[in-house]
């Protein structure tokens, strides 16, 4: 009886020292003006199977599986932002599309960081994601590499540690989606080369 | 005519429960203020949405406080129809994310002029936006409480205490008039303590719950009127 109790307590302690986050969230379509562009999208393997693993300084182990959530987020944004989106299995396939597209987009995760209350001394879980969104010409030459820094934080109120970390991750993904939806058409190279707008005003 | 032993035990239990209920609350003082810039009112079919201000602007308001106010505003006397915050934020995505949310009521005309935004808000029936800001902080504390367990039993001895300050503001924006209708603030200060003489007796001041209740009650009155100048 006593042995069973000790084993149970040890098992609970082990569970409480690891957190696994699988983002299931569905991302809403952004309410933005559609750009008159036909684009090809290529998701490199590092994006679609992105998994982050760390044991933080407080000995808590975290595994965040971001891959499918990345794809859902980018799909939602691109479908709303562009007149037509063609998904390509590779960069070569995107380059070979006929008729040619206006641009090829290829996002990648450049960095991922997380913080838990045990580390920060606050009651907040926080997630930072840095994406690079490569905007390529139809022949594959780089027009611009746009770094997008996204951040999300969530409190602990009423949620488990894993749920709070998932909430912070979802908010970081939504932050990235908002940044792209609002900021893509404001990128000087995008305005100049893809939208054929004058950027002489510097905005 | 004597009391049956079973009835007597029941009465004793009820008495003990009543004393316990009276004891478990610490002492609190609260202040609620309202500042109104324009007449308010809610037509049939209109609702409010209650959101936390962006965490980019400072310390985040607790999610459970925002939920509490959401629940409390839509219950009780003069209850107000509330659109669920996530439903509203999703419908207006990406314009109410922490990065993009309007920082003041002055930004409303520009936001509402964006394609589709005014139509989505109209479809949700939202008339007022309520932005909650603030937190509950422990301001001071002290005392000493120690517990020990031995073969013959255990017990605690001592006294520990702390003070909490729950301070929250709510800015109310009128989406139809595209202006700041005013604000409500709730400040609750409470002292909690745990005296222990063998058994610890927690006397907890639930400042955040009290601030939620006060804030919700004042918001209901604010939104329903009375009119400014009446």
- As a whole number of angstroms, the distance between CA B135 and CA B222 comes to 22
Contacts B64 to A, Cβ<8 Å: 155, 157-158
Minimal CA separation from A167 to chain B, in Å: 11
- Look at residues B190, B187, B145, B144 and name the one whose alpha carbon lies nearest to residue B169: B187
Q: Please identify, in words, the CATH class of the domain defined by A38-194.
A: alpha beta
Contacts B90 to A, Cβ<8 Å: 28
Contacts A31 to B, Cβ<8 Å: 91-95, 114-117, 120
Residue B57: the pLDDT is 74
For the cut 80, the answer to whether the pLDDT of residue A5 exceeds it is no
Contacts B93 to A, Cβ<8 Å: 27-31, 174, 177-178
Average pLDDT (A95-124) is 93
- Residue ranges per structural domain of chain A: 38-194
Q: Which residue of A has its CA nearest to B90?
A: A28
For the cut 70, the answer to whether the pLDDT of residue A111 exceeds it is yes
Residue B225: the pLDDT is 80
Residue A174: the pLDDT is 97
- Flag if A171 and B98 touch (Cβ within 8 Å): yes
Minimal CA separation from A105 to chain B, in Å: 21
**Mean of pLDDT over chain B:** 89
| Tokens read off for A115 | 């913080």
Helix (H) or strand (E) holding B181, with range, is: strand B179-200
CB B191 within 8 A of CB B30: no
Q: Mind listing the pLDDT tens digit for each residue in A148-160?
A: 999 999 988 778 8
Contacts B115 to A, Cβ<8 Å: 31-33
Residue A17: the pLDDT is 58
A72: pLDDT confidence band, cut at 50, 70 and 90? very high
CB distance from B226 to chain A under 8 Å?
no
- For residue B202, which phi and psi values (nearest 5 degrees)? -75, 125
What CATH fold (topology level) applies to the domain B31-135+167-186+207-224?
A: Rossmann fold (3.40.50)
Residue B6: the pLDDT is 60
For the cut 50, the answer to whether the pLDDT of residue B214 exceeds it is yes
Report ipTM (2 d.p.). Answer: 0.85
CB B35 within 8 A of CB B183: yes
User: Helix, strand, coil shares of chain B as percentages rounded to 5?
Assistant: 30, 40, 30
Q: B132: helix, coil or strand?
A: strand
- Flag if A157 and B116 touch (Cβ within 8 Å): no
CB B134 within 8 A of CB B168: yes
Q: What percentage of chain A carries pLDDT values higher than 70?
A: 87
A168: pLDDT confidence band, cut at 50, 70 and 90? very high
Helix (H) or strand (E) holding B34, with range, is: strand B27-36
Average pLDDT (A128-147) is 97
Chain B from 87 to 146: CB within 8 A of any A CB: 90-95, 97-100, 114-117, 120
Minimal CA separation from B37 to chain A, in Å: 31
């Amino acid at each position: 009886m006593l042995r069973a109790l000790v084993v149970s307590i040890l098992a609970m302690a082990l569970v409480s020292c690891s957190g696994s986050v699988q983002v299931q969230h569905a991302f809403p379509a952004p309410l933005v003006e559609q750009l008159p562009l036909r684009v090809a999208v290529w998701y490199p393997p590092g994006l679609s199977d992105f998994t982050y693993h760390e044991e933080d300084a407080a000995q808590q182990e975290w595994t965040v599986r971001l891959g499918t959530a990345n794809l859902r987020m980018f799909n939602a944004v691109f479908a709303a932002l562009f007149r037509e989106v063609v998904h390509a299995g590779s960069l070569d396939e995107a380059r070979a599309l006929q008729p040619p597209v206006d641009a090829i987009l290829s996002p990648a995760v450049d960095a991922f960081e997380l913080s838990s209350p045990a580390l920060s001394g606050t009651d907040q879980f926080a997630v930072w994601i840095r994406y690079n969104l490569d905007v390529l010409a139809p022949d594959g030459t780089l027009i611009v590499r746009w770094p997008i820094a996204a951040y999300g934080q969530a409190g602990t109120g009423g949620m488990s540690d894993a749920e709070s970390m998932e909430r912070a991750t979802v908010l970081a993904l939504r932050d990235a989606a908002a940044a792209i939806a609002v900021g893509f058409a404001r990128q000087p190279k995008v305005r100049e080369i893809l939208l054929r707008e004058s950027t002489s005003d510097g905005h | 005519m004597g009391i049956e032993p079973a009835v007597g035990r029941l009465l004793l239990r009820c008495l003990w429960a009543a004393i316990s209920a009276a004891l478990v609350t610490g002492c609190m003082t609260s202040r609620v203020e309202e500042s109104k810039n324009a007449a308010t009112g809610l037509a049939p079919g209109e609702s409010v949405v209650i959101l936390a201000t962006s965490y980019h602007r400072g310390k985040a308001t607790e999610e459970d406080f925002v939920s509490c106010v959401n629940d409390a505003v839509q219950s009780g006397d003069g209850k107000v129809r509330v659109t669920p915050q996530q439903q509203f934020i999703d419908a207006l995505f990406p314009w109410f994310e922490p990065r993009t949310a309007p920082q003041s009521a002055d930004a409303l005309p520009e936001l509402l002029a964006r394609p589709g935004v005014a139509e989505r808000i109209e479809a949700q029936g939202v008339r007022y936006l309520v932005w909650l800001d603030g937190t509950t902080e422990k301001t001071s504390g002290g005392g000493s409480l120690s517990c020990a367990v031995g073969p013959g039993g255990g017990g605690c001895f001592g006294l520990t205490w702390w003070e909490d300050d729950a301070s929250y503001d709510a800015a109310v924006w009128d989406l139809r008039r595209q202006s700041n209708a005013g604000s409500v603030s709730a400040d609750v200060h409470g002292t909690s303590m745990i005296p222990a003489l063998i058994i610890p007796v927690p006397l907890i001041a639930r400042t955040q719950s009290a601030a939620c209740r006060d804030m919700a009650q004042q918001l209901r009155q604010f939104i329903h009127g009375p009119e400014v100048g009446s």
